[in-house]
Amino acid sequence: MILVLTFLAGALGAVARFVADAELRRRVLPDGPWATVLINVSGSLVLGGLAAWAHRSASGESALAILGTGFCGGYTTFSTASYETMRLIEQRRYTVAVLSGAGGLVLAVAASLLGWAAIAAS
């Protein structure tokens, strides 16, 4: 059952990413990789909090599989971030490539730590 729920949560996460990406690009961040960076950072924040909650909860392991691997895995996208960084390098937009590639990774890890700390402190 966990496998089926993880699959469904992953599908919902992918749809959420698709909608968020489209809306961010249409309304706020039309150029460059910034919508992907924001999506990855927000997903990392949620996953960090979820992991902290799962660490101290009796049902946490199942919830982490379903929501962490499923939803957050479908919502965030390392492969798109990598592809966008590669495209920026091909376009010789090196500063943006470094800022979005390395910067996005640093921000995502920081967001995950922040999510963990926020839930662990509550």
73 is in an annotated binding site: yes
CA dist 74 to 6, 14, 69, Å?
Answer: 10, 4, 8
Q: What percent of the chain has pLDDT over 90?
A: 92
- Indicate if the pLDDT at residue 35 is higher than 90: yes
- 101 in a known ligand binding site: no
Q: Is the pTM of this model over 0.75?
A: yes
Is residue 75 within 8 Å of residue 45, measured between CB atoms? no
Token output for 31: 């150029």
Rg of the chain (C-alpha set): 15
Q: How much is the mean pLDDT over the chain? A: 96
Say whether pLDDT at 59 is over 90.
Answer: no
Quickly count: other Cβ atoms within 10 Å of residue 2's Cβ.
13
CA 65 to chain centre: 15
Pair of tokens at residue 114: 């922040």
